[in-house]
Every structure is written in structure tokens, then in C-alpha cells.
A and B are shown apart, each in its own frame.
Chain A
């Protein structure tokens, strides 16, 4: 009897054991080692020293260069998030109104690129946005600009391409909120005489808000942690946190400083996620109270 009860209580742990071993050995330990690495002393000539210091963090927190780096990354991610909301909300509503057959097709078209390598998608944009690329040719021939716009190695280009890469996540998040939305309420509002704009602003949008917020959190964090796109489209001119970490590790070989920047990025992202979750909770408490 006792044996059976014991087996019952140990079963979930035995079942999770292989995955937990993998995760402790290859996630918890490497992350802890990285945290330790970030406190090591680095000397240009002799490399990583066995002594400890907080100088790497002091440098990241006080040097204007890193302050600007984090600020630039944050503003870039905020811009991408805002554009994804502005495009994602109307597109999701349009998708919702489509015939089911068309809806399925366009879901594959819009979400399918998620499964295609981000390097491939970024290459496509590198060609499109080139000085003599199709986008500039179109802008010139339409007379919208006098001379080619510099998209490559500019923040504009990075924001355009990141929007393309991350928009599907926003649409998925809004779509799942839309599934819980009661269509009858919008109909009721319309039949009671509310115009389409009032109906959207007062009835539809508040109900979509949880989806928009969770989509915004996902897009923001993925934009802040994107590497290939800012590295290829932004190049050396548009440095962001992730490309700076890459340079510290593989060009300057100052691993302790790179580790300190990486830990700061992780902390910043966790803070944004927890902070916005808390904000959402507070908001909804107000709504229900």
C-alpha cells in the first residue's frame, strides 16, 4: 500500500527526470557560469583573470556608450512594437471577417514565414532595400523621393525588417483574444445606433486589449533580443545590445564585459515582462472593481 502511494508520488518526478537533468546541466549551470564570468577581471594582454570585480557592471551602468546602446535598443523595440500594433489590429479584424476558406489561406501566408529562417527573410529585405533595389526604384519612379533613401545601415531599415519578422506574433496574440470576443456585443452596439468608429473604440478595442498587450510584450522582447536582422541590416552603424555582445565575445574577446552586458539584457527583459504583467493585472483589477 505504502509502496503504491510512494510510486504514485514519485511518478511525476521520474517522468520529468530526463528533461530536468538536461535543463540543470545545460541551462542552469551555464547560466550560473555566465553570471560568475561577468564578475571576472579582464586584462587586454592576459585575458580572463581569476580575480573578481564589479568593474564590468560599473562600466555598463556608467559609461554613456552603453547607456545609449540600451536606450537605442529599447526605442527600436518600442517602435517595432507600436507599428506591429497599428498593423496587427486592423489586419486581425480583417482576417476575422473573411470566409473560412480564405481565412485559412491567409493565415498560412501571414504566419508561414515564421517557419522560414530569419536569415533568409533578412536577405530578401537586404535586396529589396538596397540603394538600387526595387523599393528605391519604385519610390524614385513614383517621384516620391529625389534621390535613393538609405535604408541599409539605418535604423529605419532595421525597424522595417523587424516589423516584418515579428508581426506574425502580434497577429497570433490578437487573434486568440478575438476568439474570446463576443461578436454579438458589437452587433448590439451597432444596432443601438453606435457608428463603426465608436463601436470599435468603445466595444471592440477594450476586449482586444489583453491580446494586444500580450502581443506587445512578445514583440518587444523578441525585438530587443533579435540578432541576425540588426546585424545584417544595421551593420556597424546601428549597434544594438545583441550585436555589441557578439562583438565583445568574438571580436574584442572581452568575455567578462560581454557577459555583463548579456546579464543586463536578460535582467532588462525579465523586468519588462514582469513589469508589464503587473501593469496588466492592475488594469484589470480596476476594470472589474
Chain B
């Protein structure tokens, strides 16, 4: 009976929790609310509600093109990251080889290096290679920085998987590739797909590295938004942000259905 009392949160704990939840949600709520203002500047609170800042998005072709560029960039880099990370995950999970830990550390390293440093390095590299303003080059570096996310989720899917079905297929004459495509890939698909969605979101949201390599022709949505927020008070940033929040929530539901959000967010097995 006394055990039960320890297990429940007291009134102070609940009050703390409510305040913290408000702290977490406040900036998101305020962006959504402010986006319905009819004023010429960002204001909270406001009197008249309107959708004018949503119509304004349609009149800002540079935001629309930045949005589509971000979508294409995220799609291409998440796909490339999966293509290189899935075989690497298989190598790391299923083989004991000299340098295995080093390969793993190398592939995870973009998570440790500050994105400002990566941005500086890519800016220099692009200018030497003549890649400045190249969409293809942006895909390569975005793929590089999201590989750790794909690798981590694919590894979690491969580790702990029984090899029986695969061995059976091999002994019945299936080639290595057929065994991979027909047996192994479907089994690890939730991890691969979850990793893809997470990579898509990470690439879509990336701003610190991208701001160094983005040119007027290759500006992503977060970079365009950053420039508008940092230098002027433009209410169209609130309506664009609301669209991004709604989009992220949709993707979160997708992620939850594919792998379970808890697995992605807290690495639960």
C-alpha cells in the first residue's frame, strides 16, 4: 500500500510537469496563433484573424521554390543515405573484421562534428571543386550528414535477427542477392524505412551547414526562413512555419506507424 503512494506523482510534481509541458509547447503554439494575424508585422496578441499570410506564401515564389528544393534534396539524400548505410549496417552487424569499430566511428562521426565546421569545410571544398551552386553536391553532403541516422536504425533492425530463414533460402539454392532481397530486406524494412523518414526530416530541417553552401539558386526552406527571421519581422514566416509544423506532425505519425516513435526518439529496442 505504501508502495503505491511512492509510485504516484504528488501535486508539486504534477504542477512542475504542467509548467514544463507549457514551456515545451509555447513557442510552437504561438507561431501557429500568430500566423492567423491580419497585421502587417508579427504581433501577439492581435485583434483581427485572417488567412492573408497564407495567401502571401503563394505570392512569394522564392519560398515556394525553396520548399520544393528542400523536398527534392531531402528525398534524394535520404535515399542515397539508405543505399550506402544499409550494406554498411549489414557489414557491421554480421561480420567481425579488423577496423570494424573504426568504420562504425567514422560513419557516425558527422553527429559529433559541429555543423558549422562541416559547413565551412564544404564551402571550401565546393569552391575548390567548382561545385558551388550544384544541387547534386548538396545531395551528397546532406546524405553524408544523415547517414548516422539511417545506420543506427538499420543496425537496430539487423542485430538480433535470426539467420534461419536466410540460411534455408541459401541452402535451397537462392543466390546471396536473392536471399537478401526476398528474405532479409523485408525483415529489416521497418528499420530501413524508419531510417529513411528520419533522414528525410533531418535533411529537410538542416540549416547550420546548408547556410554555408546554399546559393541564391540552391536556397532551402529553412535557410530562406532563417534569412527572413534574422533580418526582418515578416509575418509570412509564421504561416510558412505553421505549414512546416503540420508537415512534421504528419511525418511523425508516419514514423510512429512504421517503427514506433519511441524507438526513433529514445532508441528503445
Contacts and interface: CB of A to CB of B under 8 A. Distances in A.
Given A108-B261, A124-B28, A127-B42, A119 B106 contact: no
A128 B249 CA distance: 22
B3 interface: yes
Nearest to B265: A111
A124 B30 contact: yes
A82 to B, nearest CB: 16
A37 B269 CA distance: 43
B205 interface: yes
A191 B28 CA distance: 44
Contacts of A113: 24, 28
Contacts of B237: 123
Most buried by B among A123, A228, A250: A123
Interface in A94-145: 94, 97-98, 104, 106-128, 130, 132-134
A33 B212 CA distance: 16
Contact of A16 (B91, B208, B249, B266): B91
A19 B225 contact: no
Contact of A18 (B6, B17, B87): B87
A12 to B, nearest CB: 4
Interface in B77-114: 83-85, 87-88, 90-92, 94-95, 97, 100, 103, 106-107, 109-110, 112-114
Interface in A1-53: 9, 11-13, 15-16, 18-20, 22-23, 26-27, 29-31, 33-34, 37
B140 A22 contact: yes
B16 A91 contact: yes
A115 B87 contact: no
A69 interface: no
Contacts of A126: 229
Given A16-B91, A107-B262, A186-B6, A225 B45 contact: no
B54 to A, nearest CB: 16
Contact of B26 (A128, A175, A176): A128
Nearest to A90: B16
B121 A34 contact: yes
Contacts of B116: 225, 227, 242, 245-246, 262, 265
- Among B42, B208, B252, residue most surrounded by chain A Cβ atoms (within 10 Å): B208
B207 interface: yes
B201 interface: yes
- What interface size band does chain B fall in? 35 or more
B266 A172 contact: yes
A106 B21 contact: yes
A72 interface: no
Q: Is chain A's binding surface mostly helix, strand, loop or mixed?
A: helix
Nearest to B3: A187
Interface string A202-226: 0000000000000000000100111
A116 B248 contact: yes
Nearest to A128: B30
Contacts of B211: 227, 246
Interface string B240-253: 01001100110110
Interface in B251-269: 251-252, 261-262, 265-267
B171 interface: no
7 contacts: A87-B20, A98-B9, A107-B266, A109-B24, A127-B34, A172-B266, A228-B226
Interface of A: 9, 11-13, 15-16, 18-20, 22-23, 26-27, 29-31, 33-34, 37, 87, 90-91, 94, 97-98, 104, 106-128, 130, 132-134, 164, 167-168, 172, 175-176, 186-187, 190-191, 221, 224-228, 231-232, 235, 242, 245-246, 249-250, 255, 258-259, 262-263, 265-266, 269-270, 273
Nearest first, the 7 closest Cβ-Cβ pairs linking A and B are A124-B27, A225-B114, A15-B91, A30-B125, A12-B95, A12-B91, A30-B121
Given A110-B20, A265-B116, 6 more contacts: A13-B91, A121-B28, A124-B26, A134-B44, A172-B265, A265-B114
